[in-house]
Amino acid sequence: MASSMSVSRRRFGRLLARISGSRRQFSSTTSSISIDDQQQQQAQPQPQPRSLNLYSAINQALHIALDSDPRAYVFGEDVGFGGVFRCTTGLADRFGKSRVFNTPLCEQGIVGFGIGLAAMGNRAIAEIQFADYIYPAFDQIVNEAAKFRYRSGNQFNCGGLTIRAPYGAVGHGGHYHSQSPEAFFCHVPGIKVVIPRSPRQAKGLLLSCIRDPNPVVFFEPKWLYRLSVEEVPEHDYMLPLSEAEVIREGNDITLVGWGAQLSIMEQACIDAEKDGISCELIDLRTLIPWDKETVEASVRKTGRLLISHEAPVTGGFGAEISASIVERCFLRLEAPVSRVCGLDTPFPLVFEPFYMPTKNKILDAIKATVNY
Partner 1 sequence: MALSHIASSSSRSKNLLKPIAAVLSCTPSLRRPISTSSDSTTLTIETSVPFTAHNCEAPSRSVETTPKELLSFFHDMALMRRMEIAADSLYKAKLIRGFCHLYDGQEAVAVGMEAAITKKDSIITAYRDHCTFIGRGGTLLEVFSELMGRQDGCSRGKGGSMHFYKKESGFYGGHGIVGAQIPLGCGLAFAQKYKKDETVTFALYGDGAANQGQLFEALNIAALWDLPAILVCENNHYGMGTAEWRAAKSPAYYKRGDYVPGLKVDGMDVLAVKQVCKFAKEHALKNGPLILEMDTYRYHGHSMSDPGSTYRTRDEISGVRQERDPIERVRKLILAHDLATEKELKDTEKELRKEVDEAIAKAKESPMPDPSELFTNIYVKGLGAESFGADRKEVRVVLP
**Which positions touch partner 1 (CB under 8 A)?**
77-78, 80-81, 84, 92-93, 96-97, 102-106, 108-109, 129, 132-133, 135-136, 171-177, 343-346, 348-351, 354-355, 358, 360-361, 363-365, 368
Q: Which is nearer to partner 1, 257 or 312 (CB)?
A: 312
Q: Which residue of the set 177, 182, 266, 310 is catalytic?
A: 177
**Who contacts 100 (Cβ-Cβ below 8 Å, separation ≥6)?**
66, 73, 74, 75, 79, 80, 88, 91, 92
Closest approach, Cβ 213 to partner 1, in A, equals: 29
- Measured between alpha carbons, how far apart are the two ends of the chain, in Å? 36
Closest approach, Cβ 241 to partner 1, in A, equals: 30
105-109: long-range contacts, CB 8 A cutoff, minimum separation 24? 105/77, 106/136, 107/133, 107/134, 107/135, 107/136, 107/137, 108/136, 108/137, 108/139, 108/140
Tell me which H or E stretch contains 364. helix 359-370
Closest approach, Cβ 112 to partner 1, in A, equals: 10
Closest approach, Cβ 48 to partner 1, in A, equals: 30
309 is catalytic: no
Q: Which residue of the set 107, 231, 245, 296 is catalytic?
A: 107
Give Dmax over CA atoms of the chain in angstroms. 60
**Who contacts 45 (Cβ-Cβ below 8 Å, separation ≥6)?**
none
Closest approach, Cβ 185 to partner 1, in A, equals: 18
273 is catalytic: no
Q: Which is nearer to partner 1, 132 or 212 (CB)?
A: 132
Sign of the CA dihedral 109, 112, 115, 116?
negative
Q: Which is nearer to partner 1, 96 or 336 (CB)?
A: 96
Residues with active-site annotation: 107, 177
